[in-house]
Structure 1
């Protein structure tokens, strides 16, 4: 069956499916019971109120047919004409207040979603969100693109679903990393957003580059990274997890490098936050002032060290034995432009 854009028709079809489920669970006579018919009438009235101002011709036709069905149900439930008149008066007040209540709920839902989008790094979507929330679709998605630097681009498709409480939530988003350095190779992953371990757009970028990100779930912290050589049945890279008891101590590893950033408590905390977010961070050696790039590597229980040009170094090389190396070909996502722009990104997500 083809999906319809007629919202009234779609909701009536969902009600019909509900009736079919009830027939399987209970006796068919349930659908003729007074309690069930009253609930059905309330549902039809809600649809009439919700979509009463539509300009869609198909939806307006469906609402006219719906009106006749409502009248038939009212006569069955309330044969006494006086009772129907009294009920109509009471319903009239409800019809007047229901749109106001619905508008308040939609606004509150939009405000909550905007906060979630901002936190996840998708603030650009806020302008388009409210329009889709008001349309009342069961689910929808919004695209957004961020240029990380001159060579790299992140494409996102953020998916929203409506729950039984009629409130929308961000269910997941698809992330795709494109690099002009590797035009034939794109890396993509779907990240859930309805769990306690939600990934921000900035963290998604770092994960797609193979870096590790610190997440907290159930009061427990752990570093996670994608296994870019292993996919599951859905085509997603499997997630490697390194809990606290794995034994990785980045502070111990950083003590091997005399860095200016670790001299004070504030600088050290800032450095650890950057590393925990998956960033490749620029640091300075205390002696000589040499600039380096470092990133967390929990699997090998170490810290990766690079020259400012992206050439990987050992601790000994970083401390001065081969400081004047020529820059080699820069791997995916590792260049000076990327680093400069990446440092300008928000703490919560990528920004232009």
Structure 2
């Protein structure tokens, strides 16, 4: 299990039990909901569509969105009541539960259903095959993080031992991985968008494979809240989920260009054409979930990936940490 969860959550799980919930009042006409997202990414396009198109406002919700910049910080915000809802990888809810929490964090609305990273090669490869990674220098992600776990899962799927068949570099901070590759480190690198497409546009690298396509459906990013918050704010959770579902349907039925235009205000430093490229790439591989249901098959796939990476503390049943009732209700 991630060391930062072992170190930090032990204290937080005790502390948050005595802090009053920051639940928004069900009696107010407009309710404020504090949402902490793990990072700011085009990967989460439906969330920004829901904000930009006023879907939350239609439900009587005022969303206060903050970017936590890290799974540990996002979960800490929820556990300490600094946030009501988190948008983060489902694996974090498993790490929290493994700390014997008596108020577990429940996944209630899935946003993305595949990994969002791509394999980028320094050299242009016309006919890529995974065995071409053998003997190469590979810039990976942080040990225990979902991108790295998925990356290793895919490598093993193609009979590549990450520890024996290539030189895996993992001592570079997440924010500095693109710069390291651009400066000449590594033959291959695992990157999120829009960095992967930007490198391709600039001629610094070439996208040769998608980890999302290779790993299958997995609850990569979901909205989650403490069980106590969900029970005390059932109507708010339903309204929130309905707004998310509206956005998912909107993204699914509109073009990449229309989606890019809708969310551009959240990515002011990114060229509109690049946003469109990224949205189109994610849409074409089915990254954006078209409904908020996190099904059991996806949950089991997540745990299989974690177990393969040696990061699964214990098997946890789908109905323990996933609530599909709310999503099912709003879809009717």
TM-score range with shorter-chain normalisation? under 0.3
More strand by share: 1
- TM-score normalised by length of structure 2: 0.24
Instruction: Report which structure shows greater RCO (CA 8 Å, sep ≥6).
Output: 2
Greater Rg by CA: 1
